[in-house]
Structure 1
Amino acid sequence: MDRAQLLAHCLAKPGAWQDEPWEGDVVAKVGDKVFAFFGAPGGTAVGVKCGPDRDTADEWLNRYPGAATASAYIGRYGWNSLSFDGDIPDDELLAAVDDSYDAILAKLPKRLRPVTPP
Structure 2
Amino acid sequence: MTPEELRGLCLSFNEVVEEFPFRPEISVFKVGGKLFALTSLDAKPLTVNLKCDPEDAIRLRGEYPALIAPGYHMNKRHWNTVTVDGGLPERLVRELVEDSYDLVVAGLPRAERLRLDRP
Q: Using structure 2 for the length normalisation, give the TM-score.
A: 0.85
Partner of 2:8: 8
Give matches, 1:29-48, under 5 Å. Answer: 29-39=30-40, 41-43=42-44, 44-48=46-50
Q: Could you list the runs of 4 or more consecutive aligned residues of structure 1 that deviate by over 4 angstroms after TM superposition?
A: 111-114
2:18 matched to 1:18? Answer: yes
Q: Which has the higher contact order (CA 8 A, sep 6+)?
A: 1
Contact 1:31/1:114 (<8 A) preserved: no
Structure 1 residue 65, shift from structure 2 partner: 1.2
- Where does structure 2 lack aligned partners over 5 or more consecutive residues? none
- Give the TM-score taking structure 1 as reference length: 0.86
> How far is 1:77 from its partner?
3.2
| Percent identity over paired residues | 28
- 1:15-94 to structure 2, matched below 5 A, reads 15-24=15-24, 25-39=26-40, 41-43=42-44, 44-51=46-53, 53=54, 55-94=55-94
User: Measured at CA, do residues 78 and 42 of structure 1 come closer, stay the same or move farther in structure 2, by a change above 3 Å?
Assistant: same
Q: State the shift of 1:114 in Å.
A: 7.1
| Structure 1: runs of 5+ lacking an equivalent | none
